[in-house]
Structure formats: structure tokens, C-alpha cells
Amino acid sequence: MNRADALSRLHEFDRAHRLIAHASSVLQWDQETGMPPRAVVERSEQLAALEAVAHERATDPRIGELLERLGSTSSDPRGDDSLPGLERDFLRVLRREYDKDVLLPVEFVASCARDEGLSQAAWIEARKRNDFASFAPHLSLMLDHAKEKSRLWGFGSSPYNGQLDLHEPGMDERAIATCFDALRPRLSSLVARISARPAPDTSFLDQEYPVEAQDAFGRELRTDLGFQSDRGRLDLSAHPFTTTLGADDVRITTRYEPRNLLSGLFSTVHETGHALYELGYGDDLRGSCLADGASMGIHESQSRLWENVMARSLPFWRGRYATLQARFPKQLNGVDLEAFYKAVNVVRPSLIRVDADEVTYSLHVILRFDLERRLFAGTLEVADLPHAWREGMKKYLGVEPARDSDGVLQDIHWSMGAFGYFPSYALGNIYGLQFWRALRRDLPRIDESIEAGRFTDLLAWFREKVHSKGRRSDPAELLEATTGETLSADAFIEYLERKYADAYSL
């Protein structure tokens, strides 16, 4: 077999694997949006069956042989240096996935999947009954499985890095800790200065906002931001998410609360940010493993930037507030633009991460990062987590949950064995502002475009610099190529300090 044939065989294997993954996403999307409740048992069997097929395909020994034939090894994954750059990036990603999958024995993968299901069910119950003790044995098992995976992947001496590498390839505990250590005291000090000022009036938000009008406003906005309705859909689900079912089928969900205008609105913008990334992969990556985000953190940089930096900005609302007022005349007529802008940007230390404002949000994440590091280093026991959580909340945010359901039990991630995922959310804020600073250098009049409701310049910049490249580079390489910088929280904290000094007259 010559090299061209070997490459085309590898692309076929990859393509077959993506098709199964997308089919499985259809089932998952349906489960969250429209499936009758009693279908859940067979649906999990269907998903498990597809998962088994996918794992079998992904670990086919012929993939290993073809990779080797093309010069791609674990230590030099990009293969033969006479191959085109795009193919070398393809080999790197495929080699990385193959190595990860093939190093996990199939019985271990199956028992992890079964234990994760039981653990999630135990977490749901424990959270409902505020009973951490009943969940603790499951969490310990999830932690053991994660450590074992890290060991099998060659991260035996630094197991937490094995988990971080899954979500932020190439990034490690030390780099993230250095960045977060610089960020945390400045965030805490900003929160303290804001808390000493009078809180803005948000009482007008607490009234009935008919969901039909919320939906109409959100759909119009989504289209204006650049979401193509012939390549995706917007539906409702309990927890908003974005999923990709194919190169031209990216679906987002949102949820509306009649007495909370902002929750549905900003969820829609957040998920639209994810979707614009998914819809922007280059045509040369179509259908391959490179048509994916560079990392979870880069993905969050897109969603959080559209949601916070763009849609919570004054230029955005200067251009859009009159339209919102027209949709909700009874609720908003006596409320001027400045009052609305301040209410949209209210900062208030709170217990729940997903409800947190953009200033306190990263502190929730840094707490989880600290706890995960200690769990993996063996300096914190699962049984002591609730106490460590309360201490951390007091120290970082000055608030303390009365119940574990509002504390250590609030997030689903650990129950699914997803460790090392949380840092991506704060990294998303940080990458996002590094991108934003570079974008403003290239497009100095971006505020005027946003105020005029023209988002095409903004989207085109991200399409060219980030979206079209998909997973061709690791996050640090992408950041360097786009901004000339390494990871640094400076742009993010400076943005917050400037914005909130104005909003709160600090």
C-alpha cells in the first residue's frame, strides 16, 4: 500500500467513527429535548450499544498500522515531514485519540461506563436529599477510575495532568496554577470593592416576562449574531447545551423562566457562541476529527465572549435596548438604558456557579481546581470535601452554603468522572479576553459595529483566526498564533477592572 492509499484508508476509519459519534448525538439530543420519560431505559441501552461499536472502531489495530506506516508514533505523532501540514495535523490528532483509546482495556472501559451511570444516579438522589455521605463512595470510585486512566496514559507521577490533558491538550497543572494564582487576589479585591458600593436596582427584573416574547427576541438575536437557521435549530431543554449532529447540523437549546428575563436571553447567546464555532470549521476539515474545538477552554472562550464581553456591553444595549423595550413595554418602559445595563451587570457573591456573574464566576472555578488538585495529590480525602468546600467558599467569595446541595453537590461533573474539566470555564474567560484585545487592535471600530447591530466583522475575525482552524493546533499554539501571547490573565482582569469601575463608580 502506498502512502496516498494509507492516508485515504485512515480518513475512511476516521469518517466512520465520526458518523457513529454524530448518530449517537442525535439520540442524546432527542433524550434531552423531546423523548418520552419512560423511554430512558432503552435509550441508555441504545447509547451504550453505539458506544461499544465506536470504541471497537476507534481501537481497530489497522489504524495503528496505518499510522505507523505514515511515520506517526506516540513520540512523533505528526508523522512523515514531507506530508502536507493539514495531513500532519490530522495524524497528530488521530494518533493522540488512538493512543488514549487503545491503552484502556475494554473491560475497564465497560466497568467505568457502568459505574458512571450508577454514580450519576446516586448524585441525583444525594443532591435531592442533601446527603453527601450516600454519594461519597461513588465519588471515591470515580476518582480511582480517573487516576487509573491517567496511569495507563503515562501520567502516573502527575495523575491530575492526565485529566487536564483530556480537556486542554498541552496545558498542565503548573501553567494553570500560575495563571489562576495571579488572577485570584485581583478578583477577590475587585469583588470586595464592588460589594462596598450600593447594589444597583434590579427590582424591575422580578416580574412576569411572557416566554413567547422572550423566545421571539432570542431567536431574532441568534439570527443577527450569525446563526444560520438552515444549518441548525433552537429547542428547549432543562439545561441549555450545544451539540453537533453533522457539519451542517448544529443544535442549541435554551430554557425560559417567566420571572427571569436574563437567564434565557444570556443562555441563548452563550450557546450561540458555541454553535458559531462549530459552524465555522474550515471546508478543508469537513467531516474529519479536525472539525472540532481546539479545547474545551477555547470553546468556552467563544461562548463566554459572546455572552459577557459582547452581549453584556454598553454598545450592545445602546443598539438593542429599544427593541427589547418594545417587546416588553409594560415591564421596561420606566427603566432607562443605564439602569438596565447596570442590572444586567450586577455583581453579587453567590453559592451557585452557573448563576454567577462574570466577576465572581472564575472564583467558583478556581475553588474547584484547588480541590481537584488536592484530591489527585492525595492531600484531601473525599470524606473531607464538604468541609473543604465551605472553607474555600468563605475564603474566596465570603459566602458559605448551609446545605451540601448548594455546595459540593451542585455540579454534575464529578459524578460522571469528569475531573480536570472545570478549569476550562475560567480559561475560557482568560483566552477570550486575550483574543478580544487582539481583535480590538485589528478592528478598532468594533464598538460602533456592535452598537449598529452588525456582528459580521466580529464573526469574520473569529472565523479566520480561530473557527476555521478547528483542532489543528493545541490551545497554547492557537493563542500564540492569534495574539502573540502565552496564557495570561492580565487582559481578563484589566477588562473587568475597567468595566466595573465605570459601572459601580469605584
- The nearest distance, CB 274 to Zn ion, in angstroms, is 6
- The nearest distance, CB 299 to Zn ion, in angstroms, is 7
Beta bridge partners of 244: 250
Closer CB to Zn ion, 141 or 245, in the complex:
245
- The nearest distance, CB 278 to Zn ion, in angstroms, is 12
- Of 262, 308, 240, 340, nearest to 33 by C-alpha is 240
Closer CB to Zn ion, 303 or 483, in the complex:
303
d(CA 241, CA 254): 7
d(CA 218, CA 129): 35
d(CA 494, CA 506): 14
d(CA 154, CA 234): 41
d(CA 447, CA 342): 18
- The nearest distance, CB 151 to Zn ion, in angstroms, is 30
Q: Determine the residue with CB nearest Zn ion.
A: 303
Closer CB to Zn ion, 165 or 271, in the complex:
271
Vertex 69 angle, CA 52 and 76, to 5°: 85
Backbone φ and ψ of 286, nearest 5°: -50, 125
Closer CB to Zn ion, 77 or 293, in the complex:
293
Spell 4-32 as b/e; 16+ CB within 10 A means b. eebbebbbebbeebbebbbebbeebbebb
Which of the ranges 102-110, 120-128, 299-307, 369-377 carries the binding residues for Zn ion, by CB under 5 A?
299-307
For the question of residue 464 being annotated catalytic, the response is no
Residue 356-395 contact track with Zn ion, rule CB under 5 A, x = bound: ----------------------------------------
Three-class DSSP category at 239: coil
d(CA 320, CA 314): 10
301 binds Zn ion (CB under 5 A): no
Q: In sequence order, what DSSP letters do the residues of 67-100 get, joined into one string?
A: HHHTT--SSSTT--TTS-HHHHHHHHHHHHHHHH
Residue 220-259 contact track with Zn ion, rule CB under 5 A, x = bound: ----------------------------------------
How many chain residues are in contact with Zn ion, going by CB under 5 A? 1
Closer CB to Zn ion, 112 or 296, in the complex:
296
**How long, in residues, is the chain?**
506
- Of 202, 194, 302, 337, nearest to 259 by C-alpha is 202
d(CA 7, CA 306): 38
Three-class DSSP category at 381: coil
- The nearest distance, CB 253 to Zn ion, in angstroms, is 12
303 binds Zn ion (CB under 5 A): yes
Which of the ranges 246-254, 300-308, 339-347, 361-369 carries the binding residues for Zn ion, by CB under 5 A?
300-308
- The nearest distance, CB 404 to Zn ion, in angstroms, is 25
Closer CB to Zn ion, 303 or 362, in the complex:
303
- The nearest distance, CB 166 to Zn ion, in angstroms, is 17
- Evaluated on CA atoms 122, 423, 22, 75, the torsion sign reads negative
Cα separations (Å) of 12 from 58, 78, 313?
Answer: 12, 18, 45
Beta bridge partners of 236: 254
- The nearest distance, CB 354 to Zn ion, in angstroms, is 10
Task: Say which of 87, 173, 271, 358 is annotated catalytic.
Answer: 271
Q: In sequence order, what DSSP letters do the residues of 414-436 get, joined into one string?
A: GGGT--S-THHHHHHHHHHHHHH
Which of the ranges 139-147, 302-310, 322-330, 446-454 carries the binding residues for Zn ion, by CB under 5 A?
302-310
72 binds Zn ion (CB under 5 A): no
Closer CB to Zn ion, 95 or 299, in the complex:
299
Which of the ranges 62-70, 215-223, 301-309, 408-416 carries the binding residues for Zn ion, by CB under 5 A?
301-309
Which of the ranges 126-134, 296-304, 306-314, 381-389 carries the binding residues for Zn ion, by CB under 5 A?
296-304
Closer CB to Zn ion, 138 or 471, in the complex:
471
Q: In what order do the strands lie in the sheet with 232-236?
A: 232-236, 249-254, 242-246
Which residues bind to Zn ion, rule: CB under 5 A? 303
Residues with catalytic annotation?
A: 271
